[in-house]
């Protein structure tokens, strides 16, 4: 009798876990970095390999870090929204060109327009690991103290920008 109920019980438990898992939103993966100081890095800039950039250079202002790559199809879908957001001057957008060839990244920005104040170049993807990047695109909101306040996984949408990102940026800027 136990031989019948044990497999049935395991099956029922697996079905429950699967059912709960299917209801989760993959865009809302919790990040252990929320409300923690942004991981430090010092990377060459995409446009000028002689110059570097790091989060400590941006302390004192609210800013976005958008992780992108020229090979990323979803980044291409998101890009016009970033260009428009950049034109609005609501928040400075910095890029992290992730696991990409420098020439491809530069050509991509030249062709599609460049919404970034500047982009850091992370050829090997090591900084992405420190920041908990699952894939591209991902966008982080960093406050004036250098704390990561939100992480958007996947492409930003007009709804996310209007309903979450802009209100958060305004709140962090004290507006």
- Distance set, CA 127 to CA 46, 52, 115, 162 (Å): 14, 14, 21, 28
Q: What per-residue confidence (pLDDT) applies to 175?
A: 72
Burial group, residue 98, by CB count within 10 angstroms (0-12, 13-18, 19+): buried
Q: DSSP letter for 123, please.
A: S
User: pLDDT digits over 116-136, tens only?
Assistant: 999 999 999 999 999 999 899
Q: Provide the pLDDT for residue 27.
A: 47
pLDDT in tens, 148-169: 999 999 999 999 999 999 999 9
Tell me how crowded residue 151 is: count the other CB atoms within 10 A of its CB: 22
Q: Is CATH 3.40.30.10 the classification given to domain 33-172?
A: yes
What integer pLDDT is reported at residue 10 of this predicted model? Answer: 67
pLDDT at 32: 75
CA 1 → CA 6, 67, 151, distances in Å?
9, 55, 50
- Which parts of the chain have pLDDT scores under 70? 1-2, 4-30
Please give the angle made by the CA atoms of 25, 29 and 94, to the nearest 5 degrees: 115
Beta bridge partners of 121: 97
């Amino acid at each position: 009798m136990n031989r019948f109920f044990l497999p049935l019980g395991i099956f029922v438990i697996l079905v429950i876990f699967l059912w709960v898992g299917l209801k989760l939103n993959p865009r809302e993966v919790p990040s252990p970095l929320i409300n923690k100081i942004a991981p430090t890095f010092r990377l060459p800039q995409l446009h000028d390999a002689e110059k570097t950039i790091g989060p400590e250079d941006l302390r004192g202002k609210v800013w976005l870090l958008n992780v992108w790559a020229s090979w990323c199809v979803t980044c291409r879908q998101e890009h016009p929204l970033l260009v428009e957001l950049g034109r609005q001057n609501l928040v400075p957008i910095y890029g992290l060109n992730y696991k990409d060839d420098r020439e491809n990244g530069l050509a991509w920005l030249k062709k599609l327009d460049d919404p970034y104040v500047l982009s850091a170049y992370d050829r090997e993807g090591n900084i992405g690991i420190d920041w908990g990047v699952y894939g591209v695109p991902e966008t982080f909101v960093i406050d004036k103290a250098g704390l990561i306040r939100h992480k958007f996984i996947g492409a930003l949408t007009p709804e996310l920008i209007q309903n979450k990102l802009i209100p958060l940026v305004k709140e962090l800027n004290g507006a």
